[in-house]
A and B are shown apart, each in its own frame.
Chain A
Amino acid sequence: MTNVSATTAIGHAADARRVARRKSPTARGRLPVLILFLPPALLLFTIFVIMPMGEAAWYSLYRWDGYGLPEQFVGLRNFEVLFGNGAFLTALKNNFLIIVVSLLLQIPLAIWLAMMLANRIKGVIVFRLIFFLPYVLADVAAGLIWRFVYDGDYGLFAAVAGFLGVETPYVLADKDLAIYAVLAVVVWKYFGFHMMLFIAGLQSLDKSVLEAAEIDGATGWQKFRFVTLPLLGSTLRLSVFFAVVGSLQLFDMIMPLTGGGPFNSTQTMVTFLYNFGVTRMQVGLGSAVGVVLFVICVTLAFSYKRIFMRHD
Chain B
Amino acid sequence: MTETGSSIRMSAGTKIYLYVSLTIIAAVVVVPLLTTALGGFKTLGDLRINPFGLPAEWQWSNYTDILFGDRYWRQMMNSLIIATLTVFLTVSVAAMAAFTFAHVRFFGSNFLLNYFLIGLMFPAATAILPLFIRIRDLGLLNTYWGVVLPQVAFGLGMSILLFRNYFRNLPEELFQAAFVDGCGYMRFFWHVTLPLSRPIIATVAIVSFVASWNSYILPLIMLNSESIYPWPLGIMVYRGEFGTEWQLVLAFITLTILPTIIVFFLAQKHIIAGLTAGAVKS
In the complex, what's the smallest C-beta–C-beta distance from A206 to chain B, in angstroms? Answer: 11
A215 to B115, CA, bound (A): 51
With a cutoff of 8 Å between Cβ atoms, the chain B residues found around residue A140 in the complex are 214, 216, 232, 235-236
Decide if A200 touches B276 in the complex (CB within 8 Å).
yes
B171 an interface residue at 8 Å Cβ cutoff?
Answer: no
Decide if B151 touches A2 in the complex (CB within 8 Å).
yes
With a cutoff of 8 Å between Cβ atoms, the chain A residues found around residue B139 in the complex are none
Question: Interface size on B (CB < 8 Å)?
Answer: 126
Known: A20-B105, A154-B246. A144 touches B235 (CB 8 A): yes
State the main secondary structure of chain A at its contact with B: helix
Known: A47-B153, A140-B235, A248-B123. A145 touches B130 (CB 8 A): no
In the complex, what's the smallest C-beta–C-beta distance from A110 to chain B, in angstroms? Answer: 11
Question: Interface size on A (CB < 8 Å)?
Answer: 120
B72 an interface residue at 8 Å Cβ cutoff?
Answer: no
Decide if A48 touches B154 in the complex (CB within 8 Å).
yes
**Binary interface profile of A, 24-45, with partner B (CB < 8 Å = 1, else 0)?**
1111111011101110111011
In the complex, what's the smallest C-beta–C-beta distance from A41 to chain B, in angstroms? Answer: 4
With a cutoff of 8 Å between Cβ atoms, the chain B residues found around residue A30 in the complex are 104-106, 185
With a cutoff of 8 Å between Cβ atoms, the chain B residues found around residue A137 in the complex are 214, 257, 260-261
User: Nearest chain-B residue to A134 (Cβ)?
Assistant: B29
Decide if A156 touches B217 in the complex (CB within 8 Å).
no
With a cutoff of 8 Å between Cβ atoms, the chain B residues found around residue A278 in the complex are 128-129, 132, 221
With a cutoff of 8 Å between Cβ atoms, the chain B residues found around residue A3 in the complex are 120-124, 154
Decide if B119 touches A45 in the complex (CB within 8 Å).
yes
In the complex, what's the smallest C-beta–C-beta distance from B211 to chain A, in angstroms? Answer: 6
A290 an interface residue at 8 Å Cβ cutoff?
Answer: yes
User: Nearest chain-A residue to B37 (Cβ)?
Assistant: A145
Decide if B121 touches A37 in the complex (CB within 8 Å).
no
With a cutoff of 8 Å between Cβ atoms, the chain A residues found around residue B184 in the complex are 27-29, 33
User: Nearest chain-B residue to A27 (Cβ)?
Assistant: B179
8 Å CB contact of B125 from A134, A283, A290: A290
**Binary interface profile of B, 133-152, with partner A (CB < 8 Å = 1, else 0)?**
11000000000000001111
In the complex, what's the smallest C-beta–C-beta distance from A124 to chain B, in angstroms? Answer: 9
Decide if B253 touches A136 in the complex (CB within 8 Å).
no
Known: A116-B21, A156-B31, A251-B125. A139 touches B179 (CB 8 A): no
A228 an interface residue at 8 Å Cβ cutoff?
Answer: yes
With a cutoff of 8 Å between Cβ atoms, the chain B residues found around residue A270 in the complex are 123, 125, 217
With a cutoff of 8 Å between Cβ atoms, the chain A residues found around residue B196 in the complex are none
Decide if B158 touches A2 in the complex (CB within 8 Å).
yes
A230 an interface residue at 8 Å Cβ cutoff?
Answer: no
Decide if A9 touches B112 in the complex (CB within 8 Å).
no
A53 an interface residue at 8 Å Cβ cutoff?
Answer: yes
Tell me which residues from 76 to 120 in chain B have a Cβ below 8 Å from any Cβ of chain A.
93-94, 96-97, 99-106, 109-110, 112-120
Decide if B214 touches A139 in the complex (CB within 8 Å).
yes
Decide if B117 touches A290 in the complex (CB within 8 Å).
no
**Binary interface profile of B, 170-205, with partner A (CB < 8 Å = 1, else 0)?**
001001101110111110110000000000000000
In the complex, what's the smallest C-beta–C-beta distance from A106 to chain B, in angstroms? Answer: 12
Decide if B7 touches A119 in the complex (CB within 8 Å).
yes
Decide if A148 touches B183 in the complex (CB within 8 Å).
no
B223 an interface residue at 8 Å Cβ cutoff?
Answer: no
Decide if B185 touches A297 in the complex (CB within 8 Å).
no
Known: A140-B214, A278-B132. A8 touches B282 (CB 8 A): yes
Decide if A49 touches B249 in the complex (CB within 8 Å).
no
Decide if A26 touches B217 in the complex (CB within 8 Å).
no
User: Nearest chain-B residue to A9 (Cβ)?
Assistant: B117
Most chain A CB inside 10 Å of its own CB: which residue of B1, B180, B249: B1
Known: A120-B6, A148-B249. A283 touches B129 (CB 8 A): yes
User: Nearest chain-A residue to B116 (Cβ)?
Assistant: A45
Decide if B116 touches A41 in the complex (CB within 8 Å).
yes
B36 an interface residue at 8 Å Cβ cutoff?
Answer: yes
Most chain B CB inside 10 Å of its own CB: which residue of A6, A154, A155, A273: A154
Decide if A119 touches B18 in the complex (CB within 8 Å).
yes
Give A residues with C-beta under 8 Å from B.
1-6, 8-10, 12-13, 16-17, 19-20, 24-30, 32-34, 36-38, 40-42, 44-45, 47-53, 55-56, 59, 66, 113, 115-121, 123, 127-141, 144-146, 148-149, 151, 153-156, 158-159, 188, 192-193, 196-197, 200, 202, 205, 207, 210-211, 214, 220, 223-224, 228, 238, 242, 245, 248-249, 251-252, 255-256, 270, 273-274, 277-278, 283, 286-287, 290-291, 293-294, 297-298, 301
A-B CB contact pairs (8 Å), 8 listed:
A37-B100, A49-B127, A56-B126, A56-B130, A121-B15, A129-B268, A133-B29, A156-B32
List the 4 shortest-distance A-B pairs measured between CB atoms, nearest first.
A48-B153, A138-B214, A52-B127, A41-B97
**Could you list 11 further interchain pairs (A-B, Cβ under 8 angstroms) beyond the known A1-B210, A144-B239, A301-B121?**
A16-B110, A27-B178, A29-B184, A33-B189, A59-B130, A121-B19, A148-B249, A188-B29, A188-B32, A278-B128, A287-B130
